[in-house]
Structure 1
Amino acid sequence: MRVGPAPGTRLTLAVKVKYGSGGKPRGFFSSIFRGVVVLALAGLLVFTAVFIYYYFQYEKVVDDRLAAGPIFNSVAQIYAAPHEIRTGQHLTAGYIAQQLRTAGYNSNPELGKFELKGDNILIKPGRQSYHSTDGATINTQDNIVQSITAENGVALRSYELEPLLITALSEDKGRAKRRLVTYKEIPPHLVQAVVAIEDRRFFEHSGVNFVRIAKCAVVDVVSHKMSCGGSTLTQQLARGFFLSPDKKITRKLREIMISFQLESHFSKQQIFEMYANQINLGQRGSFSINGFGEASQAFFGKDIKQLDLAQAALLAGMIQRPNYFSPYKHPERALERRNLVLDSMVETTAITTTEAEHAKAEPLKLAPPNVDASEAPYFVDLVHDQLVQRVNDQDLAHQSLRIYTSLDPELQRVASEAVDMGMKNVDEMVRKAHKKGATDITYPQVSLVALNPHTGQILALVGGRNYGVSQYNHATAKRPTGSIFKPFVYATAYAQSVEGRSLPEGGTFTAVTKLNDVPTTFTFDNGRQTYSPGNYKDEYHGVVTAIYALAHSLNNATISLGQQVGFENVAALGRASGISAARGTPAVSLGSYDATPVDMAGAYTVFANNGVHLNPWMLASVRNANGDIVADFAPEARQVLDPRAAYLTQSLLEGVMNFGYGTAVRKLGFTAPAAGKTGTSHDAWFAAYSSNLICVVWIGNDDYTDVKLSGAIAAAPIWAEFMNRAVKLPQYSDTKPFTPPDGVTNYRIDTASGLLADASCPNAFTAAFLNGTAPQSTCSRMGESPQTLVQDLYGNTAPAPQPVPQ
């Protein structure tokens, strides 16, 4: 008997085992599985190899970047001039404390400390202070500085506070501003706001959030756009430091690799600190705002440590699209975005709902958007240019320098406001001068320069009407000076007078010397060339006194005087006073040669500073981060005119202000003693000064076309607006009358006769005379013979007169 299945059955069973119930061979699945596993392993090996290759490649990239120097390029911190506190000033101890707090005292003990006790404030500079470590106690009562006492008990007349920071410039390739901050200086609510809106798992992930990347990849594929974010803070930092902003898959892969490297090199706090200093938050003028430190100052005018919750949320919300969410340009969008951030902070439990609602109710509270007023950008550009020229390039590029300058921030604000207000009036005059409906109107540019007349320091500088629109600095642009140069003709005549020289046409030059203001053709260059100028509006006045000729800016009278004293002598005095282009031709008398507004402000120091020319300066000192001196700069001064000649010329310039073309400033409320000159050519000028401020205003067209506005109606009102605001500041409120030097005396002169005024001739003006040159007779002797009158006029009789009280 046969045991087992029949042959056919056995074959059938064998086939079923081999193919399985689905009809496919078992070996087929095993082969596919093994193939898949092999491919997977191979892919994994390739991926691992590629990952390791690029990991170490980008490790080298990161290491090389770190080895090259600090993560951020050096930041030059530019400081204002120290604020001088003087006894008698209208100031409170609280105001002084706020100034010191703004400068960094107490928050940075290395810089300095202060202690406020009622009306007294004790100041103690630290080792990093601009000053020595000598402290002082300032006592104020009834809003007036009563006394200043040094630490050793010595009474002081004045004390300088720590200079305030104007701005910080990064030595990046682009125009960037950045104020570096540490993680500890960043308020916790700012960190929480950024994490809530940008990367909630920042402190947990290893640099990349793959879930977010996957979601964004799907969104991009569906929308056919590369618009979805998904990057962590680390990835954003990697992109900002190492990569271009182009949205490509290859860039995203490189971004991931660099993120891993950053996470392996730095702690989360260090990464956030770098992010906080790198992130771009928009534009201010022509500079990009980089980092939260700079943004705090730009948008709120405060240090980052002082940001409240609402302000922190606003900055965090701007990260996504800085220009789109700009609170200046789009306040509604900015508020909506800020509130979204606050809601996100509630979701992450960083704040409560109540805290969020309180913050949402807060208005934006932005700092004034006038960058010209707050950061003096034209001034800062000039400082940077001078640094490049005068400081070693290595020092500038690789050190965090502290640059101490001449700027007075309060006066800078005043200057910018005066220009803003004044140019609105100028624009209105320009529109009225054009035909109704004209669209091709050229609106002029402007510059204002303010100097300390006794030190030469540039206290304020506006180089144009809007720095954000144009960075061209008109304060350093050469233009024909026009009639504001004319005082140098009269100063040359006075210089010859103090030397005992008479004019070729007879007599010693004085304020009442007679000049011919008639149409005249002047010859020069040994008779080979002629010059036939005209007066303003072709008005001629015949025989006039010198003081009248300058007060009313009479061209022909001034050139006739220039011819008598020598055109080359006039040009030489101009060159010695900083107007280097001046040449000895008749046209020099009318200011036909070019100079900058800064040059002209410096030139007027000759009259305001006893004949000493002070070269305008803005750089005082350069220090390193520890306060050590890298370079100090001394102002340049040179005696170019006898103090008596300088004062005599100044007396004529007072006449311009009191009864000449400068009277516009008196009508606008500026009543303090002042001396100055209008200027009108193709441009409008006004150059004038008080006992403590020189200010030059220029208005003109960039294309050199005629602005068709006189200095008296266009530039003088801006000067008056500036000076009226300036004298309200404590440091410029103590204007004083000008004091004549030995050998010069002021007299009251009768307007009609040019003789000394007495009670019978009340219509008079004040003028200065070199001793022995004043008229010898009074106006009450008008009935005497012409011969006697002429002798009296030129001071040829005796005895010497007594000064008339002013």
Structure 2
Amino acid sequence: MVRKEKGSVILSIAIVILVAGVILGVVFGFYLTRGIPEVDSLAYNLPMETTKVYAKDGTLLQEYGAEKRILVPFTEISPSFFDALIAVEDANFYKHHGISIRGILRALVGDITQRKAGQGGSTITMQLARQYFLTPEKTITRKIKEILLSLKIERRYTKQQILEMYANKVCFGHGYYGIEAAARFYFGKKAIALSPDEAAFLAGVIQRPTYYSPKKYPERAKERRDFVLSRMVKTGKLSEEEYKRLSSKPIKLASSAVEKGTGAYPAERVRIYLETKYSEEDIYEKGLKVFTTIDPKLQAVAVKAVQEGLRDYQRRRPYKGPKRGDEAKPPSEDKDLSEGQSYWARVEEVSKEGIKVFFCGKSFELGKKNFKWYPSLTPNIVFKEGDSVLINVVQKEPLELQIDDTPDAQSALFSFNVRTGEVYSLVGGSDFSETMFNRVIQAKRQTGSAVKPLIYATAFRDGKNITDTELDSPTLFLYGTENPSQICSQGYIPRDFEKGFLGTITLRHALEHSVNICAVRLLNEVGYSRVIELMRKLRITADLKPYPSMGLGSFEITLWELTGAYGAFANNGVYVSPYFIQRIEDRNGTVLENYTPDFEAVLDPDVDFILVSAMKGVIKRGTAG
């Protein structure tokens, strides 16, 4: 009887424990699964994609967004990449159903022995689940959710779809996400064209993109690539001979991965424009495509012209000295030296004869022969260890280095096709990383004598002839607000750079020699309103005051507007508005905007011919000769 009662008690306890276990299991299961999203969303949950700005030839100028990405289907990715990825990340990918029991147990043992959640054990499917739906925190709860999601993903999608989504999602370093963007950045080619060794590198860098960066740590990157190649041998995707051949090759990066871009100024203007028309989400996540008229070759030439011109100017001035303390710059890390380029270097040693500097991964001894632009420098007085100095690579073979200096002055350059309005180059300053201010579009400067052709164009349009005459003699021009007793002091008396007066001269001679008094007299004769009317037709928006000083360009104008106005003179009197944004598309190729320039016949062709003839005389016989 006692035995029977004892058995009943044990049975009751067992039932209670079982029911409690079921309840706890249900509650715990509900807790774990309540935040798990439906994996069906993967089919339409597109990853963030950057806005891309393209040059005229289709090359990439710039990208905006946290994740630089180009989405591609499975068929446009090299099979070698998937072979390498599976070999290094998940050798049993085609055998399991989303999880690897062996991998999970191995990770669990490691976590217990190390007393922290740190081991991996994730399959490609589990990594995909984590990338899309979970946080990177390392907890048991997250791991269980990862397992449950992986099982769901494997039931919903094919292995090929999982690989495609993974390849388009993961980070490859330097802000590039997805295999297509990474292939273009690192190797200058599409993902479908990747060779086995290139694919092995990209598959290997996913684990720790910064640690295995070939730009910062080329030795580590090669070791990791070679490890992936060895794994491909074990999975049967490479032979021993192929491994030996591929592992002996260096990682050869495309120029885009090591060179600085030259299209920063136009690309920044594109971004500013987009912010006036589109939301931040559209710009930084939705993958807009902006096609511009910028010619990469001409843009590079323009950047070089501005930088070399400013350097030549600075070299005619005293040396300002090295950067020191908080102003010191880190030494350049570029792997290759480029002729004509200047690099920041760190001073390592100083003596009376010269200095030893470090940049681009090497040390160089510099003596008097390297100070030719600043021959009066005394090294041990000017420099100290730890200083930052600018070094210019005059030539590579044989190597010639010279101490350089940062320019005090600034410059800008802007070129466009006067018949179509397409802007080919736009450089707003010496270096976008140092000064983002765009001196083509944002800077306003006094027009000076550049206004004179506008005055003469108005005169010719209104019937004046190039052979008509004007008097160059001392002249007092009144504003109409002068005090009668102070007319001479309050009036306007223009003067020329050269002393003396020419008397009666032709309009051709006056324009060719930029005679100030004749320009103001002609402005008075044709009328301020008529000149301002022509300027408005040429899209000059400056605040124009009908004062005599307007004849010498006392008003301020941007280089963009002035160059656009002069473009009409080179186009038979037809004004064509400059532009560099050609069209804007969404990520699917739907055209959102298409730009068409404004055309307006401002001058008759015969009038324009006379004006241009006189302007050519400025170079042949005048002030520019």
TM-score, normalising length from structure 2? 0.69
Q: 1:641 to 1:45 in 2, by over 3 A?
A: same
Cα deviation for residue 602 of structure 1 reads 2.1
Match among 574, 583, 590 for residue 535 of structure 2: 574
Cα deviation for residue 191 of structure 1 reads 1.0
Length, aligned pairs only: 529
Give yes or no for contact 2:125–2:150 (8 Å, CA) kept in 1. yes
Partner in structure 1 of residue 46 of structure 2: 71
Structure 2: distance between partners of 1:554 and 1:566: 18
Partner in structure 2 of residue 666 of structure 1: none
Q: 1:394 to 1:190 in 2, by over 3 A?
A: closer
Gaps of 5+ in 2: 328-405, 484-489
Q: How does 1:613-762 map to 2 (within 5 A)?
A: 613-621=575-583, 632-657=594-619
Q: Which amino acid aligns with 1:455?
A: T
Give yes or no for contact 2:421–2:576 (8 Å, CA) kept in 1. yes
Q: How large is the RMSD of aligned CA atoms in angstroms?
A: 4.7
Structure 1: distance between partners of 2:100 and 2:476: 85
Gaps of 5+ in 1: 1-17, 19-26, 82-162, 502-507, 664-806
Per-residue CA deviation, residues 444-502 of structure 1 (Å, 9 max, x unaligned), is 665443311101122333455556x379461663212444x63442232232234224x
Structure 1: distance between partners of 2:16 and 2:623: 97
**1:362 and 2:249 correspond:** yes
Give yes or no for contact 2:455–2:551 (8 Å, CA) kept in 1. no
**1:407 and 2:371 correspond:** no
Q: How does 1:126-145 map to 2 (within 5 A)?
A: none
Give yes or no for contact 1:487–1:550 (8 Å, CA) kept in 2. no
Q: Which amino acid aligns with 1:490?
A: P
The secondary structure found in structure 1 opposite 2:173 is strand
Partner in structure 2 of residue 272 of structure 1: 163
Structure 1: distance between partners of 2:430 and 2:273: 23
Give yes or no for contact 2:416–2:422 (8 Å, CA) kept in 1. yes
Partner in structure 2 of residue 479 of structure 1: 443
**1:609 and 2:571 correspond:** yes
Q: How does 1:406-485 map to 2 (within 5 A)?
A: 406-407=292-293, 411-420=295-304, 422-427=306-311, 429-430=313-314, 433-437=317-321, 439=323, 447-463=412-428, 469=433, 472=436, 474=438, 477-483=441-447
Give yes or no for contact 1:416–1:462 (8 Å, CA) kept in 2. no
The secondary structure found in structure 2 opposite 1:280 is coil
Give yes or no for contact 1:490–1:561 (8 Å, CA) kept in 2. no
Q: 1:423 to 1:333 in 2, by over 3 A?
A: farther
Match among 290, 293, 299 for residue 177 of structure 2: 290
Cα deviation for residue 310 of structure 1 reads 2.0
Match among 300, 315, 323 for residue 202 of structure 2: 315
Does 580-589 or 451-460 show the bigger shift?
Answer: 580-589
Find the structure with the greater CA-based Rg.
1
Q: Which amino acid aligns with 2:71?
A: L
The secondary structure found in structure 2 opposite 1:638 is strand
Q: Which amino acid aligns with 1:325?
A: Y
The secondary structure found in structure 2 opposite 1:282 is coil
Q: 1:369 to 1:559 in 2, by over 3 A?
A: farther
The secondary structure found in structure 1 opposite 2:24 is helix
The secondary structure found in structure 2 opposite 1:274 is helix
Partner in structure 1 of residue 24 of structure 2: 46
Q: Which amino acid aligns with 1:454?
A: R
Structure 1: distance between partners of 2:606 and 2:30: 84
Partner in structure 1 of residue 498 of structure 2: 540
Q: 1:59 to 1:426 in 2, by over 3 A?
A: same
Partner in structure 2 of residue 187 of structure 1: 78
Per-residue CA deviation, residues 100-126 of structure 1 (Å, 9 max, x unaligned), is xxxxxxxxxxxxxxxxxxxxxxxxxxx
Cα deviation for residue 44 of structure 1 reads 6.8
The secondary structure found in structure 1 opposite 2:568 is helix
The secondary structure found in structure 1 opposite 2:606 is helix
Q: 1:340 to 1:393 in 2, by over 3 A?
A: closer
Structure 2: distance between partners of 1:514 and 1:249: 93
Q: Which amino acid aligns with 2:498?
A: Y
Give yes or no for contact 1:497–1:509 (8 Å, CA) kept in 2. yes
Give yes or no for contact 1:420–1:465 (8 Å, CA) kept in 2. no
Cα deviation for residue 580 of structure 1 reads 0.6
Q: How does 1:487-526 map to 2 (within 5 A)?
A: 487-501=450-464, 508=465, 515=472, 524=479, 526=481
Cα deviation for residue 653 of structure 1 reads 3.9
Structure 2: distance between partners of 1:533 and 1:223: 87
Give yes or no for contact 2:585–2:592 (8 Å, CA) kept in 1. yes
**More RCO (CA 8 Å, sep 6+):** 2
Structure 1: distance between partners of 2:534 and 2:259: 34
Give yes or no for contact 1:282–1:322 (8 Å, CA) kept in 2. yes
Q: Which amino acid aligns with 1:479?
A: A
Structure 2: distance between partners of 1:246 and 1:361: 38
Give yes or no for contact 2:451–2:553 (8 Å, CA) kept in 1. no
Per-residue CA deviation, residues 179-213 of structure 1 (Å, 9 max, x unaligned), is 21111111111111222233333333333445445
Structure 2: distance between partners of 1:323 and 1:560: 68
Q: How does 1:580-595 map to 2 (within 5 A)?
A: 580-584=541-545, 585-586=547-548, 588-591=550-553, 593-595=555-557
Q: 1:447 to 1:422 in 2, by over 3 A?
A: closer
Partner in structure 2 of residue 794 of structure 1: none
Match among 194, 197, 213 for residue 88 of structure 2: 197
Cα deviation for residue 296 of structure 1 reads 1.7
Per-residue CA deviation, residues 663-706 of structure 1 (Å, 9 max, x unaligned), is 7xxxxxxxxxxxxxxxxxxxxxxxxxxxxxxxxxxxxxxxxxxx
Give yes or no for contact 2:185–2:257 (8 Å, CA) kept in 1. no
Q: Which amino acid aligns with 1:543?
A: F
TM-score, normalising length from structure 1? 0.55
Q: 1:221 to 1:366 in 2, by over 3 A?
A: same
Structure 2: distance between partners of 1:323 and 1:553: 60
Structure 1: distance between partners of 2:238 and 2:171: 26
Cα deviation for residue 316 of structure 1 reads 2.0
Structure 2: distance between partners of 1:455 and 1:414: 17
Give yes or no for contact 1:54–1:257 (8 Å, CA) kept in 2. no
The secondary structure found in structure 1 opposite 2:255 is coil
Structure 2: distance between partners of 1:248 and 1:525: 83
Q: 1:511 to 1:240 in 2, by over 3 A?
A: farther
Q: How does 1:348-359 map to 2 (within 5 A)?
A: 348-359=235-246
Cα deviation for residue 598 of structure 1 reads 3.5
Does 256-265 or 631-640 show the bigger shift?
Answer: 256-265
Q: 1:549 to 1:471 in 2, by over 3 A?
A: same
Q: 1:277 to 1:451 in 2, by over 3 A?
A: same
Give yes or no for contact 1:491–1:649 (8 Å, CA) kept in 2. no
Give yes or no for contact 2:452–2:511 (8 Å, CA) kept in 1. no
Structure 2: distance between partners of 1:578 and 1:548: 28
Match among 186, 191, 206 for residue 304 of structure 1: 191
**1:331 and 2:309 correspond:** no
Per-residue CA deviation, residues 359-417 of structure 1 (Å, 9 max, x unaligned), is 233343322238998794544554566567678999999998775x4525xx3233224
Sequence identity (%): 31
Per-residue CA deviation, residues 301-326 of structure 1 (Å, 9 max, x unaligned), is 22221111222122223223333433
Structure 1: distance between partners of 2:235 and 2:414: 53
